[in-house]
Structure 1
Amino acid sequence: MTDHTAGKERRERLKALREAALHRPVLARHMDEGFTGRWSRRHWAHASLFATIGMLVAAIVPGLGKPLALERPHHAPRHSMALALPPLPIARLRGTEGDSWQVVRVERGQTLGELFEDLGVPASTMHAILAQPGAKDALRRLKPGTELAFDLPVNGTLRGFRYDRDATHRVEMAIAGGSVTQKVIERPTQTRTVVISGEVGKSLYRSARKQGLSAKAINTLTDEIFKYDIDFNEDVGAKDRFSVVVEQTWREGELVATSPVLAATFTAGGKLHSGFRFERNGKPEYFTAEGRPLKKSFIRMPIPYARLTSGFGSRRHPVLGRVRQHKGVDYAAGTGTPIMAAGDARVKFVGWKGGYGRVVQLDHGRGYTTLYAHMSRFGKFTAGQRVPQGAVIGYVGTSGLSTGPHLHYEFQINGVHRNPLSVTMPPPEPLSGAALTAFRSYTRTALSRIQEVEDVIYADAAPLKSDKAVASKDTPRKGGKSKA
């Protein structure tokens, strides 16, 4: 068979197979009427579907549709070169002065000995430092946050030491060959009288701190100046305001000291209260604008967080079971609750007194005495000592004829028992004479400074005249601080 004949037979077989495939019954079931040369709607839909699938595959499969040459990462040529490190300064190598000062901040509970030990400085060096004039007093009790500086070169031998003796003096010591020499450097400071003012807002403490008032000054406002006239839990609203005069000491742009509160005003419920710090007989006190002490002669309730359980007068004794005169009032409280002196006094008696148990009796002068009974233990005061108002003189207990821990409190005037809850307390002695004249001059200056600041901060503020003046009820716009 020739090649021509064989090729003809192959073409005939392929033609027969093609004709058979076109007339298969299976394909007929998938076509409506066969392909007529024109695409139907179904053909277009199938074609669109296949084209969409193809594009999705090309987008999802990385590198599909990109030339193979582009898939190969192109690596830029890299070159390495050696660079010499900069040499250490000769001063550092030789350990010369001034190259290695380390500033250490004292942590709570940390001692000077621990600091020196942590830095590897021998105890003998520390003792040589403490032997310098004034060093022991300044470094014996270090407050948290105090900064000390050590000059420690690379060889580890302490060469210098410095600390701040106070706000205006720095001590620098040079240590060489076991000997120590020191010099005191005076650091200039500036003292400014400022007025800090603001409104109470949601929290008096947070607002006052935000304006720059210290926690100690805030406690002076609430626990010393205005504690007798303002209930800070009930009487103070968000729109009430305060102004405080203090002296601030600055050194090299840093606030290093703040004086006690010199003057303060507080507007609560539309009423203006004021207080001024003034020394009488060498003792600082706070007075109203009229020169009357803000501290009352007696605290009405000499125990905090207590509950009145028995009043003054006739009652049946809970232990003896018979009716007798109750010469004081009883406050129930937990054992160990501190008991405060109701007023400035001299301790008259400390000890055991029959059914009263452990007793402290105070003599306040001018015929006034107070008695505190059933204590669990005494405070640090003994008979004959002076005790200030508010000092802790003992602790609640149940000694003597008692059914439970409580304080029995008595108040006497010229030896006659009076009801502590209703007796008219004696007013404190006001300023008079030359002291009152000096005080009035001081208050005028302080009030004018407060008024100048409040005129700027608060709109339509009423003039400050006295504790009886009524302040404007207009809402303060903002708080602030100003030099006075």
Structure 2
Amino acid sequence: MVQKAFSQLPKAHKWAVISLASIVLILALFPSDRASASRNTEAALLEIGKRYELPISTENLSTEHENELSDELEWKTFQVKRGDTLAKIFARAGLSARDTYNVSSAGDLAKKLLKIRPGQLVSLQLDEHGEFAGLGYAYSNTETLLIKPNQEGKLVSSVDEKTVDTRLNYAQGEINSSFWNAGVKAHLSESQIMSLAAIFGWDIDFALEIRQGDNFNVVFEEKYIDGEFVEYGDIVSAEFTNGGNTFTAIRYSDGNYYTPEGRSMRKSFLRAPVSFKYISSSFTKRRFHPVQKRWKAHRGVDYAANRGTPVMAAGDGKVIRSSYDKYNGNHVFIQHGEKYVTKYLHFTKRNVKVGQTVKQGDVIGTVGSTGLASGPHLHYEFLVDGVHRNPRTVSLPKALPIAKKERDAFELVAKEQLELLSNSKRIMLAMN
């Protein structure tokens, strides 16, 4: 029977079967060749740009799935279109409004169907009479909502979770033209490039301080399901050399990043509270005002940016002024403890009120040109004990260290991550 089936195969398929059988036989007879082939395969897989897989896996993040979308009845899959609702998808499948109601009422988990988004997939199962027999909705890479009738015919919902294998990879890059281009060349995703800038953003001004020859080294997670890549995870450790100074960040189990000594990478204040194009006016004791046409001190920094660009609170604090006048336009002042005050001028609109408590990174307004302003920009001032200081050069409060009770555990993590960063450098040198 096998011989007959083989004889009916196309010629190209016969050669494929013969080749595969030969490889299996050789590997079985010559284990040393098998090991050599395996090593050659691993080496070939590693030679992909400047991004290399580390021989390390972390623990699985979810439990083994128990249910499968498999049954004797056929499943039909529908892609969610713009403006789609569950009712519209059911109508396309020939199901009634009553079916839609029954499925939507199949427990709290069924409420996830209210959040279907364009591009997602909804699978429906119909019986031989065209009646509803099951639904599958993959709302994430690892989780699928299943709704099916139980033995009594009542619809019940459950979630199928697939096992995720998390592996560690790394990337390295050197800046020649821009940090963004270097990140792309190192095969980092857009979100990874932005995450890397956010991690070191308290120490490095990525708009103005990046120089040719600066370099970075990053260890990050990649997630796989059944051997297939599904998404990137977190950056677990990274180094960035800027202007000859090297900064190192280690991610701890609390989700925050610390220096190897255990001091938080997150500083008390952001250097720049807005994503800007360039600095149009710097902090100076003497500047010719573009509107008033006279020389006067400029006690802050002007960040030119598009109208409507979000402006963030530079640090945690309390809003002590949120108002409008003909000089400052829409403006917000924030008190940070007893010693520091930050001021934000010329907003298009203000998002906070007097007395409101804000956290670092909260959007407090948007860039505009209200008041005495020649164009859209943020005028930002930084006061220490009532005295204006240059926001770009003032010494900021040191970051808080990791909690004492976490010190020993963190030191073990830091040691491991520093070894990974060191190993990635050695591998890079060997590959070159």
Same fold (TM over 0.5): yes
Q: How many residues align?
A: 356
Q: Paired residue for 2:340, among 368, 371, 396?
A: 368
Q: Contact 1:307/1:333 (CA < 8 Å) preserved in 2? A: no
Report the AA paired with residue 275 of structure 1: A
Query: What TM-score, normalized by structure 2, do the two folds share?
Result: 0.68
Partner residue in 2 for 1:194: 168
Partner residue in 2 for 1:172: 146
Matches within 5 A, 1:321-360: 326-353=298-325, 355-360=327-332
Distance in 2, Cα, partners of 1:193 & 1:385 = 43
Q: Contact 2:312/2:363 (CA < 8 Å) preserved in 1? A: yes
Distance in 2, Cα, partners of 1:252 & 1:331 = 48
Partner residue in 2 for 1:427: 398
Distance in 2, Cα, partners of 1:310 & 1:288 = 31
Q: Secondary structure at the match of 1:259?
A: strand
Q: Paired residue for 2:72, among 98, 101, 108?
A: 98
Report the AA paired with residue 235 of structure 1: R
- Please, which moves more after superposition, 327-336 or 131-140? 327-336
Shift in alpha-carbon separation, 1:268–1:100, aligned structure 2, 3 A: same
Cα distance per residue 1:326-378 (max 9 Å; x no partner): 44344455543433322333333222246322111112225111111222212
Report the AA paired with residue 355 of structure 1: Y
Report the AA paired with residue 91 of structure 2: E
Q: Secondary structure at the match of 1:363?
A: strand
Partner residue in 2 for 1:437: 408
Q: CA deviation at 1:416?
A: 2.3
Distance in 1, Cα, partners of 2:323 & 2:159 = 54
Q: Contact 2:199/2:249 (CA < 8 Å) preserved in 1? A: no
Q: Contact 1:328/1:408 (CA < 8 Å) preserved in 2? A: yes
Partner residue in 2 for 1:133: 107
Q: Contact 2:287/2:295 (CA < 8 Å) preserved in 1? A: yes
Report the AA paired with residue 298 of structure 1: F
Partner residue in 2 for 1:377: 349
Shift in alpha-carbon separation, 1:443–1:155, aligned structure 2, 3 A: same
Q: Secondary structure at the match of 1:342?
A: coil
Q: Contact 2:124/2:132 (CA < 8 Å) preserved in 1? A: yes
Shift in alpha-carbon separation, 1:138–1:299, aligned structure 2, 3 A: same
Q: Paired residue for 2:369, among 398, 421, 437?
A: 398
Distance in 2, Cα, partners of 1:241 & 1:328 = 32
Q: CA deviation at 1:396?
A: 2.6
Partner residue in 2 for 1:216: 191
Q: CA deviation at 1:453?
A: 4.8
Distance in 1, Cα, partners of 2:329 & 2:241 = 46
Q: Contact 2:120/2:139 (CA < 8 Å) preserved in 1? A: no
Matches within 5 A, 1:53-452: 98-107=72-81, 110-153=84-127, 155-164=129-138, 170-174=144-148, 180-182=154-156, 184=158, 186-199=160-173, 203-209=181-187, 214-225=189-200, 228-229=203-204, 231=206, 234-235=210-211, 237=213, 240=215, 242-246=217-221, 248-256=222-230, 258-266=232-240, 272-278=246-252, 284-303=255-274, 304-309=276-281, 311-313=283-285, 326-353=298-325, 355-379=327-351, 381-431=352-402, 433-452=404-423
Cα distance per residue 1:285-307 (max 9 Å; x no partner): 22221223323433333341143
Distance in 2, Cα, partners of 1:318 & 1:266 = 39
Shift in alpha-carbon separation, 1:187–1:198, aligned structure 2, 3 A: same
Partner residue in 1 for 2:25: none
Distance in 2, Cα, partners of 1:183 & 1:336 = 44
Cα distance per residue 1:205-256 (max 9 Å; x no partner): 43443xxx54423321133336733748943559x5523132x444333344
Report the AA paired with residue 158 of structure 2: V
Shift in alpha-carbon separation, 1:399–1:259, aligned structure 2, 3 A: same
Aligned residues with identical type, % of pairs: 30
Q: Secondary structure at the match of 1:375?
A: strand
> Structure 2 regions of 5+ residues with no counterpart?
1-70
Query: What TM-score, normalized by structure 1, do the two folds share?
Result: 0.62
Larger radius of gyration: 1
Q: Secondary structure at the match of 1:219?
A: helix
Q: CA deviation at 1:101?
A: 0.8
Q: Contact 1:236/1:268 (CA < 8 Å) preserved in 2? A: no
Q: Contact 1:340/1:391 (CA < 8 Å) preserved in 2? A: yes
Q: CA deviation at 1:423?
A: 2.7
Q: Contact 2:219/2:420 (CA < 8 Å) preserved in 1? A: no
Shift in alpha-carbon separation, 1:436–1:349, aligned structure 2, 3 A: farther
Report the AA paired with residue 389 of structure 2: R
Q: Contact 1:172/1:183 (CA < 8 Å) preserved in 2? A: yes
Q: CA deviation at 1:444?
A: 0.9
Q: CA deviation at 1:257?
A: 5.2
Q: Contact 1:243/1:265 (CA < 8 Å) preserved in 2? A: yes
Shift in alpha-carbon separation, 1:311–1:453, aligned structure 2, 3 A: closer
Q: Contact 2:340/2:382 (CA < 8 Å) preserved in 1? A: yes
Report the AA paired with residue 106 of structure 1: V
Matches within 5 A, 1:16-31: none
> Structure 1 regions of 5+ residues with no counterpart?
1-96, 460-475, 478-484
Shift in alpha-carbon separation, 1:180–1:165, aligned structure 2, 3 A: farther
Partner residue in 1 for 2:32: none
- Please, which moves more after superposition, 120-129 or 222-231? 222-231
Cα distance per residue 1:163-185 (max 9 Å; x no partner): 34666554432359x96422536
Report the AA paired with residue 80 of structure 2: V
Distance in 2, Cα, partners of 1:274 & 1:352 = 43
Distance in 1, Cα, partners of 2:343 & 2:244 = 39
Distance in 2, Cα, partners of 1:323 & 1:230 = 29
Q: What's the RMSD between the two structures over aligned residues?
A: 3.8
Distance in 2, Cα, partners of 1:171 & 1:322 = 67
Distance in 2, Cα, partners of 1:134 & 1:256 = 27
Cα distance per residue 1:269-292 (max 9 Å; x no partner): 87654211236xx6x322221223
Distance in 1, Cα, partners of 2:308 & 2:388 = 27
Q: Contact 2:165/2:225 (CA < 8 Å) preserved in 1? A: no
Distance in 1, Cα, partners of 2:242 & 2:392 = 26
